[in-house]
Amino acid sequence: MQAPEVHPAPAKRVETGQLMTGAEMLLECLTREGVDCFFGYPGGVTIPFYDALYSHHIKHILVRHEENACFAAEGYARATGKVGVCCATSGPGATNLVTGLVDALMDSIPLVAITGQVHSKLIGSDAFQEADTFGITRPSTKHNFMVKTLQELPQIVHEAFYLAASGRPGPVLVDIPKDVFQARGHYTPVDTIHLPGYKVFTEGHTGQIRRAAQLVWEAERPMVYAGGGIVAANAAPELKEFVELSDAPAVCTLMGLGGLSCSHPNYISMPGMHGSYAANMGMTECDLLIALGARFDDRVTGQLQSFARHARVIHVDIDPAEIGKNRTPDIPIVGDVKRVLQKLNKVLQELEPEFGKKKSEARRQWWTRIRDWKAERPYDRPHAENEIKPQHLMDEIDRLSGGQAIVCSDVGQHQMWAAQLIRFNEPRLWINSGGLGAMGFGLPSAMGAQMARPDKLVFAICGDGGFQMSIPELATIMTHALPIKIIVMNNGYLGMVRQWQTLFYNNRLSAVDMSCFPDAEKLAAAYGFRGRTIDKPWQLTQALQEAINEPGPYLLNVMVSPEENVYPMVPAGGAIQDMVFGPVEPVAV
């Protein structure tokens, strides 16, 4: 195995007023923000920055495509909650970041992207590798900056980190012209930042919290709808306390998986388009929906008018613009879900003597209904004798990871099966592109997660489509000896599109055939590690175990039944209680 790039990390203390270049100042700011590694790809205008990096202790991961630098930084951020950092050069480097930026924006992932820009005297002249990065990334970031002078560089970098991590997290881009990297000036550490227009409300309205607590006790059929905000706010312990105090059943969305441990007795499962029967029926029939850091996404609510139609709604979110966006709540609470839950739990306890037992009979009946729904239609987990069912694969990964491994998923059918069947006992174990659904996310995000958590077993679960978008990163994985277990769920199709074409377009399979796929063993060997293809159910356990036991990376290509569909499924635009569990009459969508 090739040795990772190592440069000497000289001990140095940066003094106030020290003469430094812009590139050195940027590195000093990154150090002060606690950045230990970042992902990038150099180019013409960032050479001065990479030159300063040569003798700096911060670790740089050279990816093979800038989009993957952004995805890897997201993986790092999603696995830790820290701000992920990526870097690209001007023009094509910056434009290649855009998909990752939008992905981080949709899923509220803290990210700082640094892009080089052409010399400030050349801006606007259609210079070589010039693009209007500031303009292009404005709608794809939470905020973006263009640095014009060396003096403002440190301030802007710290503002970028602050914006990325605080409030509703998100990606922030800093565009730096080449001459700012090269300029020399006296460095003054930044001690305060001032963003007068940046309004963050964390505490929640006390009166509303009290009213919410009363509603919780008065509810006969409460349901917790926990979203990605629980994970982002590190509010899992508070959520656990809340469901235990209120004895409310809970669903975690695709972004919130692990927010409440899947082994918790109050946990039902994931709701939505491919959510479980019990979760969707529970959401439909509840009389109080407690939305915590969730945004009533169309993939969760289905047809909005009939979503939780009997329910009053408590909506807690740190972003005021999410409140009432899709559903007008009865109790809106703007605040950090962790802080709000701490207060809510306290009030719940205070009110328990007064209200606690009033609804116990109704609650008992509610739990019986939920248990019945669970028993009536659990997730389908077919196993076959001669072919590997995709659900069988996910079952085995679930068993071997024991709710402790990090699972980075790509986008498509495998993502849904993984989300349904792999159980997570903690937050930040399930990493996927939820809002944007960006194919090619799985493998690079696993690089970031493994860099952040070298102690963890990390799976990258990809479809044969998404994996082929990320193959170049096998070189990065090898270079840094990242022991990622790459599991390709190979059905020879772009499976999710194929499923829709089968169900809703008279099985006219248009542009979904992916049957040409490289030999996994040879492909892995070409990069210097081990790989294997399996297609029989009896090989599965042993092959996965072999992959896990391998000290380095491993590529396991699992040929699965090509035409398996993900169920339950809510047809697009349908109400979530109208799930289908098998092929339906084709309808136009």
Partner 1 sequence: MLQTISILLENKPGALLRVTGLLSARGYNIETLTVAKTIDPELSRMTITVEVEDRLRTQVIKQMNKLVNVLQATDLTDSPAVIREMVLLRVRCPQESRTAVLKEAEIFHARVVDSSVEGFAIEATGEPEKLDEFIDVMRSYGESEVSRSGGVAMSLESRKLRLQPPVALVGQVSDLPTTIPN
Q: Summarize as ranges the residues that interact with partner 1 (CB under 8 A).
A: 9-14, 31-34, 57, 134-135, 138-139, 142-144, 146, 158, 161-163, 189-200, 319-321, 324-325
Helix axis angle, 236-246 to 337-355, nearest 10°: 20
Nearest to 291 by CA among 247, 350, 200, 230: 230
Nearest to 174 by CA among 187, 190, 163, 166: 163
CB of 306 to partner 1, least distance (A): 18
Q: Which is nearer to partner 1, 34 or 353 (CB)?
A: 34
Q: Which is nearer to partner 1, 334 or 419 (CB)?
A: 334
Whether cis (ω within 30° of 0) applies to the bond prior to 169 is no
Alpha carbons 479 and 2: distance in angstroms, whole number: 6
Q: How far from 241 is each of 235, 244, 343, 345, 350, CA to CA, in Å?
A: 10, 5, 11, 7, 14
Q: Which is nearer to partner 1, 114 or 348 (CB)?
A: 114
Q: Which is nearer to partner 1, 147 or 547 (CB)?
A: 147
CB of 311 to partner 1, least distance (A): 20
CB of 444 to partner 1, least distance (A): 27
Q: How far from 505 is each of 571, 573, 584, 589, CA to CA, in Å?
A: 13, 16, 11, 9
For 347, the token pair is 């009030």
Residue given tokens 């914006």 in the structure block: 163
Contact 470, 448 (CB under 8 A): no
Q: How far from 544 is each of 258, 539, 547, 582, CA to CA, in Å?
A: 23, 9, 5, 29
CB of 67 to partner 1, least distance (A): 22
CB of 106 to partner 1, least distance (A): 14
Bridge partners of residue 20, in order along the sequence: 185
Q: Which is nearer to partner 1, 323 or 341 (CB)?
A: 323
Q: Give every CB contact of residue 245 below 8 A, 6+ residues apart in sequence.
A: 345, 348, 349, 352
Q: What are phi and psi of 115, to 5 degrees?
A: -120, 145
Q: Which is nearer to partner 1, 193 or 512 (CB)?
A: 193
Q: Which is nearer to partner 1, 143 or 264 (CB)?
A: 143
CB of 400 to partner 1, least distance (A): 37
Q: Which is nearer to partner 1, 141 or 445 (CB)?
A: 141
Alpha carbons 552 and 536: distance in angstroms, whole number: 24
H, E, C per residue of 146-162: ECCCHHHHHHHHHHHHH
CA angle 422-531-558, nearest 5°?
Answer: 45
Nearest to 232 by CA among 170, 321, 289: 170
CA angle 555-560-562, nearest 5°?
Answer: 130
Residues carrying an active site annotation: 66, 128-129, 178, 496
CB of 323 to partner 1, least distance (A): 8
Strand residue runs (E) in 389-446: 406-409, 430-431
CB of 16 to partner 1, least distance (A): 10
CB of 232 to partner 1, least distance (A): 16
Alpha carbons 95 and 76: distance in angstroms, whole number: 21
Q: Which is nearer to partner 1, 293 or 463 (CB)?
A: 293
- Altogether, the residues listed in the chain come to a count of 589
Contact 453, 406 (CB under 8 A): yes
Give the 3-state secondary structure of residue 529.
coil
